[in-house]
């Protein structure tokens, strides 16, 4: 598959999705949205793929958020909403039951944070900086971030970070549990691959059910969650 804004590669049972607009710090534009939609579909449906790794091209950024040049000339909110209905990238992202790992370096802003939050495990390099500049631009996160962030770091911290527009470094992101681990810049991909390979050795169905038990369970009360676990465990047998 050849794309303009992304690189999609498969190696063994791993799929690599690289956000590839390094000249614009991998800012997320309409083209990237359309291409991401295709790539996520491929990753989801391809039985050869067991784990996905998301990363950013170039030295400086995982993703610096929505493309501001395009944003300023974007079609009306009504058109934007129609497009979203036709192409729900974030719904598709969050519906993937295979494990997804984000390997984030440099600037991780706006939709960059939200892409990382659509992944299950986040590794950050020491130089990573996270921020949600949306309110400063008169908008709010629209790639799921207002819902995914508080589920990961809790409501109070999510509110503080979103409302203040304050950026946080890798160490604070780790302390907030926004990222699972902080690694040196040159070890980021290596560590992501090591983790992905380990997961890929396990039975893919068990891995998928384990992910579903936790992710879907987070939206349930304990009783419902235990029922979900029992159902998944039984269907695995």
Q: Which residues does the annotation mark as catalytic?
A: 114, 134
Nearer to ligand COA among residue 115 and residue 123 (C-beta):
115
Three-class secondary structure of residue 87 per DSSP: coil
**Least distance to ligand COA, CB of residue 177, Å:** 22
Say whether residue 116 binds ligand COA (CB under 6 A).
no
Distance CA 116, CA 86 (A): 23
Say whether residue 65 binds ligand COA (CB under 6 A).
yes
Integer Rg of the chain from CA? 17
Q: Interacting stretch for ligand COA, rule CB under 6 A, among 132-140, 186-194, 199-207, 215-223? A: 132-140
Which two structure tokens, joined as six digits, stand for 141? 């996160």
Question: Could you tell me where the beta strands, DSSP code E, fall in the chain?
Answer: 6-11, 14-19, 51-56, 61-63, 100-104, 107-109, 121-125, 129-131, 168-169, 181-183
Q: Which of 40, 43, 51, 109 binds ligand COA (CB under 6 A)?
A: 109
Nearer to ligand COA among residue 62 and residue 209 (C-beta):
62
Sign of CA dihedral 53, 235, 233, 89: positive
Say whether residue 133 binds ligand COA (CB under 6 A).
yes
Binding residues for ligand COA, rule CB under 6 A, total 15
**Least distance to ligand COA, CB of residue 72, Å:** 10
With a CB cutoff of 8 Å and minimum separation 6, the contacts of 92 are 37, 40, 41, 44
Alpha carbon distance, N-terminus to C-terminus of the chain: 36
Say whether residue 161 binds ligand COA (CB under 6 A).
no
Q: Which of 62, 107, 130, 209 binds ligand COA (CB under 6 A)?
A: 107
Say whether residue 158 binds ligand COA (CB under 6 A).
no
Nearer to ligand COA among residue 138 and residue 223 (C-beta):
138
Nearer to ligand COA among residue 36 and residue 51 (C-beta):
36
CA neighbor of 47 nearest in space, from 3, 89, 9, 15 = 15
How many secondary structure helices (H) and strands (E) does the chain include?
A: 11, 10
Nearer to ligand COA among residue 56 and residue 110 (C-beta):
110
Q: Which of 6, 15, 17, 25 binds ligand COA (CB under 6 A)?
A: 25
Q: Which residues contribute to the site for ligand COA (CB under 6 A)?
A: 24-25, 27, 64-69, 107, 109-110, 133-134, 137
């Amino acid at each position: 598959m050849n794309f303009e804004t992304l690189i999609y590669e498969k190696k063994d049972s791993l799929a690599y999705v690289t956000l590839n607009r390094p000249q614009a710090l991998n800012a997320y534009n309409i083209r990237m949205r359309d291409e991401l939609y295709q790539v996520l579909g491929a990753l989801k449906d391809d039985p050869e793929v067991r784990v996905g790794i998301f990363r950013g091209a170039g030295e400086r950024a995982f993703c610096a958020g929505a493309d501001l040049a395009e944003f300023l000339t974007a079609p009306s909110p009504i058109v934007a909403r129609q497009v979203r209905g036709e192409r729900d990238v974030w719904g598709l992202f969050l519906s993937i039951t295979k494990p997804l790992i984000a390997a984030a370096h440099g600037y991780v802003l706006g939709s960059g944070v939200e892409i990382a939050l659509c992944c299950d495990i986040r590794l950050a390099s020491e130089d990573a900086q996270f921020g949600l500049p949306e309110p400063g631009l008169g908008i709010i996160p629209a790639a799921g971030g207002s819902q995914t962030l508080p589920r990961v770091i809790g409501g109070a911290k999510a509110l503080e970070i979103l409302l203040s527009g304050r950026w946080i470094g890798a160490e604070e992101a780790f302390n907030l549990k926004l990222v699972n681990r902080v690694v040196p810049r040159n070890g980021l991909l290596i560590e992501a691959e090591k983790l992905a390979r380990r997961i890929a050795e396990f039975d893919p169905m068990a891995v998928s059910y384990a992910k579903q038990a936790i992710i879907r369970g987070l939206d349930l009360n304990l009783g419902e969650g235990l029922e979900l676990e029992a159902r998944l465990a039984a269907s695995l047998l």
